[in-house]
Structure 1
Amino acid sequence: MKMSLKKIAKAMLITTFSSAMLMTAAHANNPPPTIKADAPNRYIVKKGDTLWDISGRYLNSPWRWKDIWATNKQIKNPHLIYPNDVLILCVIQGQTLVGVDTGEGCAGIEKQLTGEVSASQVTVTSTANSIPPIPWSAIQHWLDNTLIVDPQDFNTTPYILASKNRNLITSRGDKVYAKGVPLIVGQRYGVYREGEQYVDPKTQEIIGLEVTQVATGMVTSTETNGVTSLQLTDSYGKEVREGDRVFVELDNSIPPVFYPTPASVSRGGMIVRVMDSISSAAKGSVVAVNLGSTHGAKPGDVLTVYQKGPLVRDIKDNDTPVRLPDEPSGTVMVFNTFDDISYAYVLDSELPLNVGDKLLPPPYL
């Protein structure tokens, strides 16, 4: 039986609408996350573990770890996990949960969940020595002294004119001179080296400039001709050069504790740079993405990476090229955000990740 083009279009529209309704219903029903078939009933946390690794032991979708974590009402920060903690898998009131065994097994986990707790009974726990969401060693370089700033603002700041001894290499204790807007005597300032510009792949607009702090200096005097004297108080592995910029030290801190969670950003994004001068990223790499705090990105946000589908020839349509759908190729977690750019750690990758790969919040299921 033949169907007219109008009827076919109507049927396709109904099918698409029905699929959308089913997806909405699935989200609304909040189905439980999928527990791995080989999830351990008991696991002893080791030094070097990360929250993401442990989540991956239990869940096919590690970003949904909070859905199965048994929150202890007696602890102010109940999501912290420490080396030597014993995690146990329990079924409590029909729900599969993971919690820290206090010696009573699953009965103790249930007490923690359901027990009435007054404010005076809540224990404050330290973040020190707790396991991190991702390896700190892999991201430390991008937390210490590296920032992304507005290029226009950067170019209006005072610059290093010369050093007192006219030496090429300067370090802590040396005096340098800056020229530009007068700085405040007695104030600490950072000395920053210009790095790579970030260009949005779609708009080709410059969206940020990476700068590295090479030193800190104290202003000792200012002159009427715009020259400021600074005594270097700290250096960070690099010499101060002529042309480096001077401005108030910027706070590059991230929250002491953050957890992997599905990103809730205002739009999709892209990988705009693979760090450490390598061509493609894999698990353990750091990438820069064109999603920042202005788009709702924050430390802990998990994003799925999609690789552009290949072009194939349609042999039934005169070899017309057809683009296949984008496919997920990895997962990244944001750990440091700026206005329009963030640094993200590659949690896993099925294929090499490249500049231009798309980013979206992870699928719900």
Structure 2
Amino acid sequence: MKISLNGMAKALLITIFSSVILIPTAYANNPLPTIKADAPNRYTVKKGDTLWDISGRYLDSPWRWKEIWATNKQIKNPNLIYPNDILILCVIQGKTLIGVDTGEGCAGVEKQLTGNMVASSVTITSTANSIPAIPMTAIQHWLDKTIIVNPKDFNTTPYVLASKTRNLITASGDKIYAKGVPLIVGQRYGVYREGEMYVDPRTQKIIGLEVTQVATGLATNVASNGVTSLQLTDSYDKEVREGDRVFVELDNAIPPVFYPTPATVNRGGMIVRVMDSISSAARGSVVAINLGSIHGAKPGDVLTVYQKGPLVRDTIDNDTPVRLPSEPTGMVMVFNTFDDISYAYVLSSELPLNVGDQLLPPPYL
């Protein structure tokens, strides 16, 4: 079973925008991000803070936070910050930077930045309890058990035929039977529930199928007629139903830490679904977008959301209809990617965000 949607990549040659949108890879000649006029000189990191919120305290363009971050060269994960860390604004070599106060003030931050510290080896720091980029509780469901697959592949996998008790299965320890390609005895398998089918709003092409893992089981026997017996070892808040699909658990590995950064996708995109909602998205919502790994999307990518301008009539020019320019209305950050689709968290929204809203990398200047 493949998680990829490579077979449908050619269907996406028609992109949302007529031109390819790229952001520059070299910013050496650009000025540093603008520090907010009311940015604090000192800030004590609190439990519940997020990297995005902290960046927003200091910067007018929080997605550019890394450009003013004084990283400690002696730390393997220099961008990690923790509750009770004290962040300070310092002017170092003519540049305003943010660093973690180690007790020596800006002099200590400068030592970290320049590497003039008495340390012979790199310190390994744990990601545990560090400040996340965005609230993990808001995205956990879409990280753990929900994935996007190729619908054609999904429909060829074995399916749950029945249970030993002929009832719904709700707990580990129960036995189910799967029909289809015989499974390997002793192998762990996931049981997946079919969900939302994704269609690109512009091309009307199917670009993926959302499925949710409802259980895990161990193949214990394969009968002569090809029916496989599975003992359920774990269930995930949902019953197993007849017709659910069975295949090897897919590795939905997410980086242990990801940081907001301007997206470097190779084209523009659109919001294709507002998760857990039939209407609009706001700050803190999760949306699905039609930009995936084949378009260069990766966890941490920040994109600006634009809403199409309204159609107005030019009363001076015989009531000719004129479309007003699209305006930025919010920002999203990608946190999980598949071939053609990604899940993204809404970082900000001036207006409700809707299916069909356009996505572009944030302006650098």
SS class of match (2:144): coil
The AA in structure 2 aligned to 1:358 is Q
- Cα shift at 1:223: 1.7
Partner of 2:343: 343
The AA in structure 2 aligned to 1:129 is N
Partner of 2:359: 359
- Cα shift at 1:166: 0.7
Question: Are 1:162 and 2:158 an aligned pair?
Answer: no
Distance 2:333 2:84 in 1: 26
Q: What runs of 5+ residues in structure 1 fail to find an aligned partner?
A: 1-22
- Cα shift at 1:29: 2.2
Counterparts of 1:170-319 in structure 2, within 5 Å, are: 170-319=170-319
Q: What's the CA shift string for 1:101-133, capped at 9, x where partnerless?
A: 011111111111113469833211111110000
SS class of match (2:106): helix
Q: What's the CA shift string for 1:201-224, capped at 9, x where partnerless?
A: 111011000000000010011122
Instruction: List 4+ stretches of structure 1 deviating above 2 A.
Output: 26-29, 115-121, 168-171
Distance 1:247 1:306 in 2: 39
Partner of 2:74: 74
SS class of match (2:252): coil
The AA in structure 1 aligned to 2:194 is E
Q: Mean alpha-carbon deviation: is it higher for 140-149 or for 48-57?
A: 140-149
SS class of match (1:120): coil
SS class of match (1:330): strand
- Cα shift at 1:135: 0.3
SS class of match (2:294): helix
SS class of match (1:75): coil
Asked if the contact 1:71–1:99 (Cα under 8 Å) also holds between the matched residues in 2, the reply is: yes
Partner of 1:136: 136
Q: What's the CA shift string for 1:324-346, capped at 9, x where partnerless?
A: 11000000000000111000000
Counterparts of 1:103-142 in structure 2, within 5 Å, are: 103-116=103-116, 120-142=120-142
Distance 2:293 2:87 in 1: 34
Which of structures 1 and 2 has the bigger CA Rg?
Answer: 1
Distance 2:42 2:338 in 1: 40
Distance 1:256 1:121 in 2: 23
Asked if the contact 2:163–2:169 (Cα under 8 Å) also holds between the matched residues in 1, the reply is: no
The AA in structure 2 aligned to 1:30 is N
The AA in structure 1 aligned to 2:157 is T
Q: What's the CA shift string for 1:175-202, capped at 9, x where partnerless?
A: 1100000100010000000001000011
- Cα shift at 1:172: 0.9
Distance 2:185 2:53 in 1: 49
CA distance change for structure 1 residues 236 and 49 in 2, over 3 Å: closer, same or farther? same
Q: Give the RMSD, CA atoms, in angstroms.
A: 1.5
Asked if the contact 1:73–1:117 (Cα under 8 Å) also holds between the matched residues in 2, the reply is: no
SS class of match (1:56): helix
Distance 1:232 1:119 in 2: 51
- Cα shift at 1:28: 6.1
Q: Greater relative contact order (Cα 8 A, min sep 6): structure 1 or 2?
A: 2
- Cα shift at 1:235: 0.4
Asked if the contact 1:333–1:346 (Cα under 8 Å) also holds between the matched residues in 2, the reply is: yes
Q: What's the CA shift string for 1:295-337, capped at 9, x where partnerless?
A: 1100000000000000010112110100011000000000000
Asked if the contact 1:305–1:328 (Cα under 8 Å) also holds between the matched residues in 2, the reply is: yes
Q: What's the CA shift string for 1:75-121, capped at 9, x where partnerless?
A: 11110000000000011111000000011111111111113469833
Q: What's the CA shift string for 1:43-102, capped at 9, x where partnerless?
A: 000000000000000000000000110011111111000000000001111100000001
Partner of 1:52: 52
Bigger proportion of residues as helix: 1
Distance 1:156 1:245 in 2: 9
- Cα shift at 1:27: 5.9
TM-score, normalized by length of structure 1? 0.91
Partner of 1:14: none
The AA in structure 2 aligned to 1:301 is D
The AA in structure 1 aligned to 2:111 is K
Asked if the contact 1:163–1:170 (Cα under 8 Å) also holds between the matched residues in 2, the reply is: no
Distance 2:118 2:178 in 1: 58
SS class of match (2:328): strand
Partner of 1:11: none
Distance 2:28 2:124 in 1: 35
Asked if the contact 2:270–2:356 (Cα under 8 Å) also holds between the matched residues in 1, the reply is: yes
Q: Mean alpha-carbon deviation: is it higher for 109-118 or for 178-187?
A: 109-118
The AA in structure 1 aligned to 2:147 is L
- Cα shift at 1:278: 3.4
Distance 1:159 1:277 in 2: 29
Q: What runs of 5+ residues in structure 2 fail to find an aligned partner?
A: 1-22
SS class of match (1:359): strand
